Amino acid sequence: MKPSQLSDACQCSKACQCIKEVLNHGNMEFVEAIRREQQLLETTNSENDSEKSRLPETGYIKQLGRLGETLQQSPKTVVLACSDARVPVLDLFQRRANEVFEIQLEGNVASTECLGSISYAVEHLPKIEGIVVLGHTGCGAITAAVDQYLSPQLEATTVEGSIMSLIRTIIPSVDIAASVLAMNSPSTQGTVLRDALDRRKLIGTATFVNAAAMAWKVQAFVRGLRRNIPVWYGVYDLASCRILHADLDRRDGSLLFGLGDAPHVTELNEVAQILVMYLQKMNHFDAAKFSTNGHNLQTTAAWEKLSMGDTASAT
């Protein structure tokens, strides 16, 4: 029975084994794909171009070795991203197995355990050239932290302890976002700050501030290890599938395409300010309209090059 048939046929509501079967089948198919690729490699004359074109495009053997072999880990990048299932780290960077050292934690928080993983990577994986901290739009952890900030009385009643710990890690970023949002909002004059803040804008701003803040934390940590490895940050927009960062050079409310350098902690207010300006112009991260929504010309040109497949000159 195929995995799809298993899930279609599933009528059980409790202690369901179907997804376990789907996962087990997936692993069997993975091993089988490697075995087929290996078989073709062994029977194909690699000098013959027409034969070579028949090879499967999985590339598993190149990345992971033949069955029975164990290759060295050789990623060039560490990526700290959110656990959200809609953030496909390898796919969105068009990387493959053994190319990225992935750490996925809800809210892409640079927790103690996360820093331990980063320490392992930079100390033991010699090909690491850079570290990415990647937030994303529509993040449940950021939303929970914003809601906690706006309604702090929730803590004692409804929020489970381990989630509260996660939220507390994100709250400083929400605090920065809220302060800057309040400074730019005349409606907050004479009112209780929390009551006057626009929840949607606060979530949008805090998403960028949190990714930037965690990147700064990682950068400071790596420097403490006396390693000169750059750290970048970005926010993956679920709607457009593009990565964006705040333009700290122009500081005019523009978002740029791609990853930005981790800002210093003293620049986090600037990141928030750029987001507040951006969200005053735009209702949402409408990255599909690059020429009119506040992205500058440099970004537009870079995206156009990528769209035309001119990836070599854009990198």
Nearer to Zn ion, 34 or 80 (CB): 80
Query: What is the nearest approach in angstroms of Zn ion to the Cβ of residue 113?
Result: 17
The pattern of x and - marking residues 55 through 94 that bind Zn ion according to CB under 5 A reads ---------------------------x-x----------
Stretch that binds Zn ion, among 15-23, 94-102, 139-147, 201-209 (CB under 5 A): 139-147
Query: What is the nearest approach in angstroms of Zn ion to the Cβ of residue 140?
Result: 6
φ and ψ at 306, to 5 degrees?
A: -65, -40
Nearer to Zn ion, 105 or 218 (CB): 105
Amino acid identity for residue 223 in this structure: R
Query: What is the nearest approach in angstroms of Zn ion to the Cβ of residue 177?
Result: 16
Nearer to Zn ion, 121 or 139 (CB): 139
- 122 touches Zn ion by CB under 5 A: no
Query: What is the nearest approach in angstroms of Zn ion to the Cβ of residue 62?
Result: 32
Nearer to Zn ion, 108 or 299 (CB): 108
71 is written with which tokens? 């290759």
Q: How many angstroms separate the first and last alpha carbons of the chain?
A: 45
Q: Which of 89, 110, 139, 211 binds Zn ion (CB under 5 A)?
A: 139
Nearer to Zn ion, 82 or 176 (CB): 82
The count of chain residues that interact with Zn ion, using the rule CB under 5 A, is: 3
Nearer to Zn ion, 84 or 247 (CB): 84
Chain contacts with Zn ion (rule: CB under 5 A): 82, 84, 139
